[in-house]
Amino acid sequence: MALPQTALVDDVTELLILWPHLAGALERDQGPIDTERVSGGEGTFGLPVNADVLEAVRILNLDVPTLAQWASGIVAEPHQSRSVDDHLRHFPRFHERMLVTAAIHEAARLAASVHALLRQVKLAVGLRTVDRRLGQFCPLHDHPLRELVAPGDEGELCYRRLDRAGQPIAPTVTWRRSDCALCRHCGAAWEPSQYLLLGRLLREADARRLAAEIEARGAA
């Protein structure tokens, strides 16, 4: 039976394509000649920042087996030691098992974790720019306080098909750019046309937090 084409499947496909590039990215980054480095211009696999590459490799090697162990526990399968690639390939099946056994929260957690891994790898291979901090907390919740961001640009690989090594043939990169103010905690986003509304919400949140602080001081 074919798996449903969920966001998780897409994320796993992209991870399987991109993550072998991390090793190459490390070598390029350490190359002695500047011209050998891949430039970070738009529409290319950019020059990764070494620290981002190392961090992505570290996270994948640590987190993917840990996530796999947790997921196999949820779907009551014995955990097997596999390569990162093979673990990734099993994630869509685990996800589907979770959905059919009503482990909805666990399925969402698996999908979110895989998406976070993809974001890390994209940053490392130059397919994402970092979020810009906006200096204001999300007005929709006080616990936790989370700063709003202008999301970084994200490059999406477009291709017709994969070659035998699982790499896309003649891929192009489409950059997606968003001008909204976004909360990465709750997912709320405000487009520029909604900034007046956002301003009002921010003022209300400030007043609410100030009142809570005064009340806490009074009780102390």
69 alpha-carbon distance from chain centroid: 20
Interaction of residue 182 with Zn ion, rule CB under 5 A:
no
Here's the x/- map for Zn ion, 57-86, by CB under 5 A: it reads as: ------------------------------
Q: What angle do CA 211, 215, 218 make, to 5 degrees?
A: 140
- CB of 194 vs Zn ion, minimal distance in Å: 14
- CB of 84 vs Zn ion, minimal distance in Å: 32
Return the number of the residue (29 or 131) whose C-beta is nearest Zn ion. Answer: 131
User: Which residue in 118, 123, 183, 205 binds Zn ion (CB under 5 A)?
Assistant: 183
Q: In the structure encoding, which two tokens stand for residue 143, read together?
A: 């616990």
CA dihedral (162, 166, 172, 173) positive or negative:
positive
Interaction of residue 158 with Zn ion, rule CB under 5 A:
no
SS3 118: helix
Q: How far apart are CA 179 and CA 153, in angstroms?
A: 9
User: Which residue in 28, 119, 185, 209 binds Zn ion (CB under 5 A)?
Assistant: 185
Mark the segment that binds Zn ion (CB under 5 A) among 20-28, 166-174, 178-186, 205-213: 178-186
Residue 157's CB is within 10 A of a number of other CB atoms, namely 16
User: Which residue in 138, 149, 198, 205 binds Zn ion (CB under 5 A)?
Assistant: 138
